[in-house]
Amino acid sequence: MAAAARRQSYWNATAPASGFPSFTGDLEVDVAIIGGGIVGVTTASQLKERGLSFALLEARRVGEEVTGKSTAKVTSQHNIKYTTIERKFGEESARHYADANETGLRTVVDLAGRLGIDCSLERRPAFTYTKEEHHVAEIEKEVELARRLGLPASLTRDTGLPFDVLAAMRWDDQAQFHPTRYVKGLAATLPGNGGYVFEGSRVIDWGKDRAATDAGSVRAKHVVMATHLPLGQTGLFYAENHPHMHPVIMGQADPARVPAGMHISVETPHHSLRGHRDENGRSWMIFTGPTFKHGHVDQERQAFAQIERFAAEHFGVTAEYRWTNEDYTPMDHAPFVGWSSGGAGACLVATGFDAWGLSMGTAAGILLADIIADRANPWLDLFDARRIKPIAGAKDFLKANAEVAADLVGGYLSRKPHGFDDLRPGEGAVLKVDGHNVAGYRDEGGALHAVSAVCTHMGCIVGWNETDRTWDCPCHGSRFGLDGAVIHGPAVKPLAPHVSKKDQASRSA
Ligand SMILES: Cc1cc2nc3c(=O)[nH]c(=O)nc-3n(C[C@H](O)[C@H](O)[C@H](O)COP(=O)(O)OP(=O)(O)OC[C@H]3O[C@@H](n4cnc5c(N)ncnc54)[C@H](O)[C@@H]3O)c2cc1C
Ligand code: FES
């Protein structure tokens, strides 16, 4: 690891502050939107175009969570996705997936241009490549299907990468952008004429017609939960989506070594990469690599080492920014968009993007606005969030959950501190204290920060994320800060403060 690497998303570090007010009081609108990532902000923009009023409540800052930590390719090419969708749902559904994502891509390009959003948007070809013989046929099949669906796909071995590949598919006219600037830029066009955007406003209670923070309540005809994974127990989506975590690095690059396209490998460990030119004309490259389990420090270190080796060896890039990011794989591989359930308390949701949620998240915003405006949309046939298809996918899905359970028993760190006194500065670990699981972190100044390690969603034990310095839950992907505050759901309540027996005794004395 480069000594000076910053523990932050490059995109968030280089976006202007958004500065929306926090919510207080009471408000009545057509639609309450919980969450200001690409899904929530696009939904709001679509509702505005349809003349509906809305209040968007963002817990932290718009665009800075999963969206602002992505590699930010806006594509209808999603690795080997179409063959999977066609196998599980049929060719007509693959056509809907293609249409949704091409529409999502076109919408991003159109909005950025029409609204003058300064987000480094560039049209680029996207490539999925393989260096392994047994994946060649998969690429050929994906291209054949994509062409049948009318997508701009072709077979090639000419990728612009500094190594030979056995096969690759090239999709023309795809796009890349600065995700945080795009979302913040779009959000800036929303207030006024019945549109409200609030930041620092975490929703802690909700129903089909209300969303409440600890400072007030929004009443609405519809509630959209655009929180990446729906909150709490909503629709039980945490049981139908498997979380995965990835290392992301970004560093300056020799412009002559930056490929013109955006690239991802079929084989695991996945390598995904692309270039970026900043406003001062400097060239950068961003990379993401192998998946690792939430809170599993040894796996996290290996994942970073792997992607950092790849970036240095092939592109001469050293990490200047390092961060982690997560997404969810739905058990049948299609995102869930629409009503959370058939019941009376249903809200609208969008989740399960499988690390392809920028074009798809934009399409989700269009679909959600269509549902609210009572407009027919054929994509719903595939994405309907109430579908129950526990057919294919269930076996792998259950295996992944069983591995999580085994890890919870086995622990995460190879070096196990004996107690908090044994924690080195910058180190975090979960330890048993007075019979309780406690998450402790020793900061660089030597002070200990300790909170309960019991996730407030459903009671799993969180683990340490060394890069971002957060407590991450391996069960359904909730993330918490050092003080226990929620960063990512489905949890909505913070980790409880840890009060040692000694403190308890001195308080009651
Ligand atoms: C390593 C990695 C790389 C990726 N790269 C790409 C890529 O190149 N192309 C692509 O298409 N996709 C990519 N993705 C996937 C994509 O980033 C996501 O699918 C997409 O950004 C999800 O958007 P979202 O709006 O659902 O979530 P988010 O952007 O996380 O937005 C949800 C918002 O809800 C807020 N929120 C949560 N709880 C509450 C609450 N209780 N009250 C109020 N607000 C709340 C959060 O603070 C957050 O801002 C990548 C994913 C990963 C992990
Ligand atoms: S996220 Fe569900 S138990 Fe932690």
Instruction: State residue 391's pLDDT score.
Output: 43
Selection from 239, 294, 270 nearest residue 488 by Cα: 294
269 preceded by a cis bond (ω within 30 of 0): yes
Rounded to whole angstroms, the Cα distance separating 91 from 85 reads 8
CA atoms within 13 A on the CB side of 76: 29
Protein residue with least CA distance to atom 27, ligand 1 = 228
Q: Where are the alpha helices (DSSP H) in 293-358?
A: 297-315
Q: Is the CB of 453 under 6 A from ligand 2?
A: no
CB 167 within 8 A of CB 127: no
Instruction: State residue 343's pLDDT score.
Output: 77
Ligand nearest to the CA of 479: 2
Q: Is the CB of 248 under 6 A from ligand 1?
A: yes
| Tens-level pLDDT at each residue, the chain (509 residues) | 445 799 999 999 999 999 999 999 999 999 999 999 999 999 999 999 999 999 999 999 999 999 999 999 999 999 999 999 999 999 999 999 999 999 999 999 999 999 999 999 999 999 999 999 999 999 999 999 999 999 999 999 999 999 999 999 999 999 999 999 999 999 999 999 999 999 999 999 999 999 999 999 999 999 999 999 999 999 999 999 999 999 999 999 999 999 999 999 999 989 999 999 999 999 999 999 999 999 999 999 999 999 999 999 999 999 999 999 999 999 999 999 999 988 777 999 999 999 999 999 999 999 999 999 999 999 999 999 999 644 444 555 555 554 555 444 334 555 567 788 889 999 999 999 888 999 999 999 999 999 999 999 999 999 999 999 999 999 999 999 999 999 999 999 999 999 877 666 666 65
Give the pairing type, strands 479-480 and 486-488. antiparallel
Which residues sit opposite 384 in a β-bridge? 337
HEC assignment per residue over 84-141:
HHHHHHCHHHHHHHHHHHHHHHHHHHHHHHHCCCCCCCEEEEEEEEECCHHHHHHHHH
Q: 107 alpha carbon to ligand 2 midpoint, in Å?
A: 34
Angle at alpha carbon of residue 107, lines to 189 and 326, rounded to 5°? 85
Q: Is the CB of 43 under 6 A from ligand 1?
A: no
The CATH class of 420-508 is: mainly beta
490 preceded by a cis bond (ω within 30 of 0): yes
Rounded to whole angstroms, the Cα distance separating 156 from 261 reads 13
Strand, coil or helix: 262: strand
* One-letter identity of residue 110: D
Residue found by looking up tokens 């998303």 in the block: 9
Of 10, 42, 70, the residue with max ligand 1 atoms within 8 A of its CB, to mutate for a pocket test, comes to 70
* Nearby residues of 102 by Cβ (< 8 Å), 6 or more positions away: 76, 151, 359
> What is the C-alpha R_g of the chain?
22
Burial, 313: exposed, middle or buried (Cβ in 10 Å; 0-12, 13-18, 19+)?
Answer: exposed
Rounded to whole angstroms, the Cα distance separating 274 from 113 reads 22
Instruction: State residue 104's pLDDT score.
Output: 98
Instruction: State residue 215's pLDDT score.
Output: 97
Q: Where are the alpha helices (DSSP H) in 272-328?
A: 297-315
Both tokens assigned to 421: 């006194």
Which residues sit opposite 330 in a β-bridge? 241
Protein residue with least CA distance to atom 9, ligand 1 = 73
CB 483 within 8 A of CB 490: no
Rounded to whole angstroms, the Cα distance separating 397 from 394 reads 5
Ligand nearest to the CA of 328: 1
Which residues sit opposite 277 in a β-bridge? 283
Selection from 286, 138, 238, 215 nearest residue 474 by Cα: 238
Instruction: State residue 408's pLDDT score.
Output: 46
CB 326 within 8 A of CB 475: no
Selection from 177, 421, 144 nearest residue 276 by Cα: 177
Q: Is the CB of 457 under 6 A from ligand 2?
A: yes
Rounded to whole angstroms, the Cα distance separating 399 from 346 reads 30
Rounded to whole angstroms, the Cα distance separating 331 from 395 reads 9
Helix orientation angle between 91-114 and 136-148, rounded to the nearest 10 degrees:
70
Selection from 332, 336, 335, 352 nearest residue 393 by Cα: 332
Selection from 324, 356, 410 nearest residue 126 by Cα: 356
Q: Is the CB of 460 under 6 A from ligand 2?
A: yes
Selection from 177, 211, 183, 179 nearest residue 20 by Cα: 183
φ/ψ of 382, rounded to 5, equals: -85, -45
The side-by-side arrangement of strands in the sheet containing 448-452 is 428-433, 436-442, 448-452
* One-letter identity of residue 129: Y
Protein residue with least CA distance to atom 38, ligand 1 = 227
Instruction: State residue 406's pLDDT score.
Output: 46
Q: 65 alpha carbon to ligand 1 midpoint, in Å?
A: 6
Give the containing element (helix H, strand E) for 350.
Answer: strand 348-351
Q: 351 alpha carbon to ligand 1 midpoint, in Å?
A: 9
φ/ψ of 56, rounded to 5, equals: -100, 125
Instruction: State residue 26's pLDDT score.
Output: 97
